Each structure stands twice: as structure tokens, then as C-alpha cells.
Amino acid sequence: MSDVDITEAVAVLRDEVLDTVEHGDRDPPGAEVFDAVLRALTVGGESVPGLDLALHEAVSRRLAWGDNEEVVLADAEMVFDRLVVAVERAFRDPADQMVVIEAATLVAVTVTRVVSLAAVARASRDRAARLREEMAQRQLKEVLEKQKANIVRLEGELKSSDFQ
Amino acid sequence: MNQVTPTPPTGIRVAGDTNVGKVRDTNEDSLILEPARGLYAVLDGMGGANAGDIASQTARDAIRDFVIQKRLAFSPKQLLEAAILAGSRAVFESAQANRERHGMGTTCVAVLVVDKSHVIVGHVGDSRCYLLRGGRLQTLTRDHTIVEELVDRGLLAADEAERHPYKNVLSRNLGSRPDTKVDLLELELKPGDRLLLCSDGLYGYASAEGIQYILGSGDEPQHVARDLIELALRGGGGDNVTTIILEAPAAPPSTTQLVRTNGAMAWWQKRQTFLIVAKDRGLTRNPIVRGLDPKDALDVVALSLCQAVFHDLEKSTGVNVWTFAQNLASGWFERGGEWSAVRSMMDILGTASRAVVDEIKVADGKLGFLLDVAVSRALVVAELALGGLLAERLRQVDTDLIQLHTAMHETVDAPTDDTLDTGERFVDRPTIPFLRPDRPVTGAGVTAEVIDGITKTITIARARTSPRAELVKEVLTALDAIASEGSGNFATAVLSARELYGVRSVDEQGIMPLFDALDQARIVIASAVHQIQTTESNRAKVLRALSVAHQRLVSAMTGLVLEAVAPFSERLREIQQTTSDLRDEVASAERRRAELERRFATNIDPSLPWGSRGTTEW
């Protein structure tokens, strides 16, 4: 294994992996995934809780800004694919390649876990919202029944008053 | 009085300054700047009849002498504590010997530098030590005042302490008793940290924000020490003010900075090597530069790429190389040129780049390695640009072929059974909803050697998995199938994911065991791959194949989860629509009822205003 900091060396690949040329000054899609890979390389070994928290926040932010889960997942997949290709080309030492690939896989699994959790949580919220809607519908139907009865009564009274 | 010390051997830069202030006649503050011993201190004396300055000076001399004489007899922490106590005894004895000096004392905040990243802070009284780290200012010392003690014991609220009449009365000092308690703190300095030692004449007349701003300005320590005093003077300068700044050495430049500066320059200086290698490899005979003078050919192609790489290295971007490759290839393709010429040209440029990097690597191994990565990236960017052009051409060919195929069907093989036409062909539907159109759907495949490595890795991984972890074993089997298949597409992954998913509840209890098993499989594989008997290069290929398979599997699994939760949203949307329709109906009925009520009221008494009869029921 080389004596150079692999994190720094992978950071050099940022433009290529995130295709910053294509996106100009905008934050490129998948930046949070690439940053997570760098974090995973920095801490080394297994640090799933920390990685989960940081990624969860980044993914939640994207979902809150209107990106759906499919888009987040597609970006993560793109970053993984490009990083694996770039690393094979850029690192001559297979040991270095393996370190980066392991980190990238860790992040890939974590992203999918976070996205799945977000989707499941959304489903729970949808279920609760559906219950609320059903209750509201019951109340609306009761009101409608009363209104219809009132209308019938008023129409009857109106007919009799016209007659008078 | 401004005192600047020479840089001590530790690399820590230090400067100190003191000022009498705008109100007082004498300066009762003293400071120690002893770079040879790594000792720095601020002392703030007190006591009538000029005793304050005598107290601080007596303590200063005693502390300094103690450290010089006894530095080898104690550990650093004990040395600083003993020195401050020696200062206290000296002041006490001086006060005892002279009636006029009775009651004199002094505060002391001192720093003893152990090495470039390790210091001891000791203090007694209300002189303070601040640390500026990462732009954030924090107080390292706690004032020894009566009020602070009361706050510590919970007898006084923090906001009451601000207004307390005894807020400046010290609970500890040097000199009132022969011995006192010294608070000590060991601190590890990080690159760029700044320590500030100061008397209350600074923080009593300058805001914390102002101190933070000046301390974090990045100015030289001697300017910072002077500017902080100026800040206190502008705030009133009601007391003597003394400051000492210690600055830890800055961090060495990051590798990215190294590539941007030294790397880019080294690359540009070796451009002649690049041109020579490019010429030797036959760049001037390439069909793309046919008709050009050899020197012009080298200037137009090789030197341009050299320049593009240089600018991209400088700015950590890839835009110049991208543009170079686009211009080179698109012009050639427009003239009807062949792909092989571009490929050959890129190979020559790649070889020349490697030669330059190897030369740099001989001179500076670390820089050479970083440059190797950065230049490889630049070449990959060029390849991506070429790939984009090629893909564009292939898409055009694809479109032409489809049109041709459709035309053939319409004329020769018209459909006889209309019921078979569902209106949507299978190829129009994506296998996975989030599969991007620009994503490669097939890979280069895997060699027999890699497949052998995959099988061995999975066997070891299975052996290392607990017999009860059935789900993990199923994941390993799935990964074996996906990785060995080697196409890199989603088809096998989706099938495997469906098998693993089975029937599950759509909640955390249902979904999380799957992802736990996937994560467990990842960990076991990462460990097992290092145990197979093969070359390091082949091992990397095996890990790569399994990691790609893993990524495909988890993505497909998440796709299934998203597919499972989708109906919840759809049902919610449907029911929301029904609620909305009901609301409209209720609103319409309400309008109708109001209209009837109005008519009814008018019939009874035409003078009644609109809507004055009846009540709204909801």
C-alpha cells in the first residue's frame, strides 16, 4: 500500500466522479454520497452509526427539497459506478483500489438502507394520513346528510309559503 | 511596550504587549516571555500604595527563576504548579516584611510549552487564557472570584453574577497566603491554534466577539497583541491591559494544494519530455495531423494537451482536458475520420503523460504518486469526452436502425392479429424504474480466474457465517450468482432480490433484517477476499466484481421496497380526491340551503336583509 493519504487521492477524483464539468457551479447530484465515501475512508474500518447519521441528514435534506427516493438512489448508483471505474484507472496499487472499493460498497449499502427507511417512514405517514382522511369523510357525510334534510325541509316550507 | 520574541525551537510563534490604559497612572500588570524555557505568563497585581506592581513583578521574577533553576527536577505539570506557588510565597514574604505592602497580591495565568503540540496552562485569579480553534473562541480558565464560586455551588444564577457587586473580588490570588490552589490544564495544540493570555483589562473593556475577530484575523501575533490592546483602549481603557499570543505551527499543505501548486508546476516544467515521447511514439505520423509540419503537429496536439492538463491541475478541474478532447475528436469525426486514429492518438498522449509522471516520481515519490492520480483523472476525463461523442454517434446509428426495422415491418410483415398489440412494447418499459438512460447496462464480463476467486471468496464467507444466519447465506448465494454472471446489469440482481424479499410487512421490522443481512454479507466478503490464494491484482478484481454485484443487489432491493410503499401513496391520493369531492358537495349544498333560506325569509318579510334568518350548522 502506498504511503499517500488515500482520502486525499480519492478527493482528487471528485470532478470526474461527480461530473462537475457538466454541472458547473451547481451542487452536483450525488455529492453527499461522494463525501460519505471520503468520510468512510477518513475514519477507516466500520463506523456505520456515524456514517448513517451524516448520510441520513444529507438524504433527508434532498428528499425535503423535493427529490424523490428514486432520484437519490440513481445518483448514489452513478457515483458508485463512476468511482469504481475511476479508481481502477487512477490507482496502480490493487491494495489501494480495494480500500476505496470497500468504502464505496459500505456507503452504497448505507444509502440504500437510509432511502428504504425514509420510504417506509413515508408509508407509515401515508397510512396515518389515510385514517385522518377517512374520519374527515365520515364527518363530511354526516354534515351532508343534515344539509340535504334541511334543503328538503326548506323546499317544502317554501312551497307552502308560495301557496299562501 | 511591545515585546516580540524570536521563534522558539518548537515552531510556536509568540508575541506579547502591555499598556497602562487610559485611567491609571501605573501599570500593575507584568508579563513573562521566556521562549528559551517555553514559559509565558500574564500577572495582574493589586494592593494600594504602588504595591500592585511590586506584587506582580515579585511573582514574575520568582516564577521565572524557579522554572530556570528547577526545570530538570520536575515533570512539566509539577514544574508549572511549583513555580506559581513559589511566586505566591515570594509575594507573601515580601508583604510580611513590609507593612505598607500588606494585603498585596497578584493574579497569574501561565503557559509552559512542552513541545510544539503540547502545553500546560496554570492559573490563579481572574486573568484568563483563551483558545481559538477552527475560528471558535473558548475560555480555558475559570475566574477565581467570589461570584464564580457562588455560581459553581449553585447559590447564584449566572445572570445575577453579571450584576453582582462583588463580581471582581478574587477568591484566590498569589500573595494573600503563602500557599494557594493552582488550576492546571494540559492542552494538546492542533495546527493553527492560537492561545491568548490576558489580564482583566482586556476582557473587561472588549467584547468576546471583538476578541474573536482580531484573534482569528490571521495577522502576525505581534499585530494581534497590539490590536487587542487597542480594542480595550477604545472600549474605555479603564484598567491596565496585557496580552500574550501563542500560535501553533500551521498544518502542512494538503495533497490537493500540493497538486495544485507543486504538481502543476512540475508537470509544466517537464513538457519537453512529453513532446519528445509523443514524437518518438509517432504522434506526428497520426492521420489526424496529416499535412501539418511535425513541429506544428506537436504544438497543436501535444503542447495543447500539456497546457490543458496544467490548467486543470492548477484548478482541480477537468474542463480544459474535456474541451481539448471534444475539439480534437469532433473535428476529426466531422471530416469523416476513423475512430482508430483518435484511439491511437490518445494512447500516444497517455504514454507521454506516464513518462512525465515517472520522471517526476523519481525526483519526488509522494508528489509523483499524487500527480499520477491527478493526470490519470485528466486522461479519464478526456476518455469520457470521447466516449460521449462515440455514444452520440451510436445513438444516431441506433435511431437509423430502428427506423429501418420499423419500415421493414410495416411493408413486409404487417401484423395479422390486432389483439396482440398492447400498445406498449416490452423494451419501452424500464426494468428498474430509476435506471438512468445513460447508465451502461452491460459490463465487460469477468474472466475465469475472477470467477474462480469469486467462488472461493463466497465459500470462505459462507464458512465464516453463523449457521443460524440463513438470510446472510442466501445473500451470499445471490451475490455469487450476480457477480459470476458479470454483465453488470440489473436482471439477475432483480430476480435475486425478489427471491430474498419474499413476503414482508412494509415497516422497519419487515425491511431492516434484509438490510442487516446485506451489510453482514458485505463485511464477511471484505474479510474473506483477503484469504483467497491469488495475486493482489486478481483479489482486487474479485472484490470489485462482488462489490458491483452487492451494489446492484441493494439497489434492486430498495427498488422493491419503493415498489411496496408506492400503493400507500396512491391510495392516499385517491382518498384525498374523494374527500375533496365531498367538500365540494358540502359547499354546494350549503350554497343551495343559504339560497333557499334567503328566499324563504323574503317571502315572510321582504324588509329582512339577505341571510338574516337561520343559522349555519357547520
Testing the interface with B: which of A73, A120, A140, A152 to mutate, by most B Cβ within 10 A? Answer: A120
B461 vs B465: CA distance, rounded Å: 6
The structural domains of chain B, with segments of one domain joined by +, span 2-133+173-247, 255-402, 434-618
| pLDDT 10s digits, A10-24 | 888 888 888 776 666
Q: Coil, strand or helix: which one is B498?
A: helix
Query: How far does the CA of residue A1 sit from the closest CA of chain B (Å)?
Result: 11
pLDDT tens for B147-156 read: 888 887 777 7
Could you tell me if B328 and B342 are in contact, meaning their C-beta atoms sit under 8 angstroms apart?
A: yes
Does A158 contact B at CB distance below 8 Å?
A: yes
**Cα B465 to Cα B475: distance, rounded to the nearest angstrom:** 11
Distance CA B423, CA B428 (A): 10
Distance from CA of B324 to the nearest CA of A (A): 13
Q: Per-residue pLDDT averaged across B64-91, rounded? A: 92
Cβ-based contacts of A145 with chain B (< 8 Å): none
pLDDT above 90: percentage of residues in chain B: 29
Chain A nearest CA to B414, separation (Å): 39
Q: Do A150 and B559 touch (CB under 8 A)?
A: no
How far apart (Å, rounded) are the C-alpha atoms in residues B466 and B455? 19
DSSP H helical ranges for B605-613: none
For the segment B478-507, what is each residue's pLDDT rounded down to a tens digit?
998 888 876 655 677 888 888 888 777 777
Could you tell me if A130 lies within 8 Å of chain B, comparing CB atoms? yes
Query: For A145, which residue in chain B has the nearest alpha carbon?
Result: B586
Is residue B313 less than 8 Å (CB to CB) from chain A?
Answer: no
Mean pLDDT lowest among A51-55, B233-237, B298-302, B503-507: A51-55
> B328: Cβ–Cβ under 8 A, 6 or more apart, which residues?
B288, B301, B342, B345
Judge whether residue B520 has pLDDT over 70. yes
Overall fold of domain A6-129: Globin-like (1.10.490)
Of residues A15, A112, A143, nearest to B317 (C-beta): A15
Nearest-angstrom CA–CA distance, B567 and B551: 26
Can you give the pLDDT at residue B252? 74
**B253-312 residues touching A, CB cutoff 8 A:** 254-256, 259
8 Å CB contact between B525 and B546 = yes
Cα–Cα distance, A104 to A7 (Å, whole number): 12
Residues B264-291 pLDDT 10s = 889 999 999 999 999 898 888 888 888 7
Give the DSSP per-residue string, A121-141.
Answer: HHHHHHHHHHHHHHHHHHHHH
**B515 touching chain A per CB within 8 A:** yes
Dihedral sign computed on CA atoms, order B79, B80, B81, B82:
positive
Q: Is the C-alpha dihedral spanning A14, A18, A20, A26 positive or negative?
A: negative
pLDDT in tens, B426-480: 333 333 333 343 444 334 457 888 888 999 999 999 888 888 888 899 999 999 8
pLDDT at B18: 94
Q: What is the DSSP letter of B302?
A: I
Minimal CA separation from A106 to chain B, in Å = 8
Q: How close does chain B come to A133, measured CA to CA in Å?
A: 7
Residue B109: name the closest of B143, B75, B76 by CA: B143
Q: Does B372 touch chain A (CB under 8 A)?
A: yes
Q: Of A81, A68, A159, which Cα lies nearest the Cα of A119?
A: A68
What is the least distance, in Å, from the CA of B609 to any CA of chain A? 17
**Residue B472 in contact with residue B520, Cβ under 8 Å?**
yes
User: pLDDT (tens digit, 9 = 90+) per residue, B211-249?
Assistant: 988 888 878 899 999 999 998 998 888 899 999 999 998
**B413 touching A (Cβ < 8 Å):** no
- Contact call for residues B16 and B244 (beta carbons, < 8 A): yes
What pLDDT does residue B48 have? 60
Return the closest-CA partner of residue A10 out of B97, B377, B491, B245: B377
User: What DSSP state is assigned to residue B426?
Assistant: G
pLDDT greater at residue B580 or residue A49: B580
Average pLDDT for B158-179: 80
Selected residues 104-123 of chain A with any CB under 8 Å from a CB in chain B: 104-106, 108-109, 112-113, 115-117, 119-120, 122-123
User: Is-contact B555 A73, C-beta < 8 A?
Assistant: yes
CATH for B2-133+173-247, options being 3.60.40.10, 3.40.50.720, 3.50.50.60, 1.10.3720.10: 3.60.40.10
Chain B residues within 8 A of A3 when measuring between CB atoms = 366
Q: Does A77 touch chain B (CB under 8 A)?
A: yes
Cα distance between residue B453 and residue B529, in whole Å: 8
Q: Which of A154, A140, A150, A139 is nearest to B585 (CA)?
A: A140
Q: Which of B104-108, B133-137, B240-244, B454-458 has the lowest mean pLDDT?
A: B133-137
Give the pLDDT confidence score for residue B444 in this predicted structure. Answer: 46
Q: How far is the C-alpha of A15 from the C-alpha of A83, rounded, in Å?
A: 11
User: Does A25 reach chain B within 8 Å, measured CB to CB?
Assistant: no
pLDDT of residue A61: 83
- Answer yes or no: are the C-beta atoms of A100 and A85 closer than 8 Å: no
- Using the Cβ of B555 and the Cβ atoms of chain A, whether some distance falls under 8 Å is answered with yes
CB B596 to CB A151 under 8 A? yes
Return the biggest CA–CA distance within chain B: 124
CB-nearest partner of A116 from B259, B558, B618: B558
Task: Indicate yes or no: CB of A74 within 8 angstroms of CB of B435.
Answer: yes
Sign of the Cα torsion B473, B474, B479, B481 reads positive
The model's pLDDT over B541-571, given as tens digits with 9 standing for 90+, comes to: 999 999 999 998 999 899 888 888 888 888 8
Q: Which range, A83-87, B466-470, B487-491, B597-601, is most confident? A: A83-87
pLDDT for residue B432: 38
pLDDT in tens, B566-596: 888 888 888 999 999 999 999 999 998 888 8
Q: How far apart are CA B40 and CA B194, in angstroms?
A: 14
**Mean pLDDT across the stretch A140-149?**
91
d(Cα B189, Cα B13) in Å, to the nearest integer? Answer: 13
Q: Does B441 touch chain A (CB under 8 A)?
A: no
Q: For chain A, what percent of residues have pLDDT higher than 70?
A: 85
Residue B418: the pLDDT is 44
Average pLDDT, chain B: 82
Residue B454 has a pLDDT of 92
ipTM of the modeled complex: 0.84
State the smallest CA–CA distance between residue A54 and chain B in angstroms: 18
